[in-house]
Amino acid sequence: MTAQILDGKATAAAIKSDLTARVAALKEKGVTPGLGTILVGDDPGSQKYVAGKHRDCAEVGIASIQRELPATATQEEIEAVVRELNEDPACTGYIVQLPLPKGIDENRILELMDPAKDADGLHPMNLGRLVLNEPAPLPCTPNGVLTLLRRYGVEIKGAEVVVVGRGVTIGRPMPLLLTRRSENATVTQCHTGTKDLSAHLKRADIIIAAAGSAHLIRAEDVKPGAAVLDVGVSRSAEGKIVGDVHPDVREVAGFISPNPGGVGPMTRAQLLVNVVEAAERSVG
């Protein structure tokens, strides 16, 4: 068996095409949605992701607001830019690209954001709303994973899902989305303290690998027919992306998301969804 590809590029393109029409409708009502980004430092990966976000904006008609600070920026300097975007009426929503340089209090920066402008769904108020089952912008990568599973008809209801990783952008919020009544999955969260990862993986109908550990998920640990989503990013000596999932898993899994070309483009598409939804709320 060779796994069906969960094509994030194609799915993101379909989402962007729908958003293009919605942005055009907003513009007819006099509203141009605007996405702001705050990028601190010169990490090449972060620069690439932010550039991609603005390319996407141009594609669907969303205005771009870009703020860049050097790696030496102080907490106060970053906070000043957060306050500026909180007040900017042209900015419908914005993100602070993570991770921030060492020494910066990331949580304090996120807390300072206006939760109504939180395009990433990572403000503590919005994560709290998710816990409480209240409407909130959803974190982009977990929502991208869910959208991909739904588009390809992977059964989520009642599925045994293993999430590997506990980072703030995916590992922490992913189980919150999956265990909502609308999804009804059963979730096990694994991490570096998990004693027998292999035993958990072998039982999973869906594996979401977000550990950032190259080829951590091996074919012998995957149940035949399982859906495997590769969210991990490590780099080879040549600078190429190496995911968390070993290439041999394709021969065992029922569905697999490539990396690159799987969850990454979905993260970007869901960010645009959050901005357009915020703009639509503003016109009622």
Question: Which residues are identified as catalytic?
Answer: 53, 97, 120
Residue with tokens 């912008």: 137
Q: Are strands 186-190 and 160-164 parallel, antiparallel or unpaired?
A: parallel
Q: Residue 141 interacts with ligand LMY7XDAE (CB under 6 A)?
A: yes
- Picking from 115, 140, 168, the residue whose alpha carbon sits closest to that of residue 265 is 140
**Is the previous residue joined to 137 through a cis bond, with omega within 30 degrees of 0?**
no
**Residue 101 or 261: which CB sits closer to ligand LMY7XDAE?**
261
Q: Please tell me the count of residues contacting ligand LMY7XDAE according to CB under 6 A.
A: 19
Give the integer Cα–Cα distance in Å for 154 and 149.
5
Select the residue interacting with ligand LMY7XDAE from 5, 31, 52, 69 (CB under 6 A).
Answer: 52
Site string for ligand LMY7XDAE, 212-241 (x = CB under 6 A): -----------------------------x
Select the residue interacting with ligand LMY7XDAE from 267, 269, 273, 278 (CB under 6 A).
Answer: 267
Q: Residue 41 interacts with ligand LMY7XDAE (CB under 6 A)?
A: no
Select the residue interacting with ligand LMY7XDAE from 232, 265, 273, 275 (CB under 6 A).
Answer: 265
Q: Which residue stretches of the chain are H helix?
A: 8-28, 44-60, 75-87, 106-112, 124-131, 140-151, 173-178, 197-202, 263-283
- What is the helix (H) or strand (E) element at residue 94, kind and residue range? strand 93-96
Query: Is 93 among the annotated ligand-binding positions?
Result: no
Give the integer Cα–Cα distance in Å for 209 and 221.
13
Q: Name the residue type at position 118.
A: D
Q: Residue 94 interacts with ligand LMY7XDAE (CB under 6 A)?
A: no
Select the residue interacting with ligand LMY7XDAE from 11, 126, 147, 169 (CB under 6 A).
Answer: 169
**Residue 92 or 259: which CB sits closer to ligand LMY7XDAE?**
259
Cα first-last separation, the chain: 49
Q: Which residues bind ligand LMY7XDAE (CB under 6 A)?
A: 48-49, 52, 95-98, 120, 140-141, 169, 241, 259-261, 264-265, 267-268
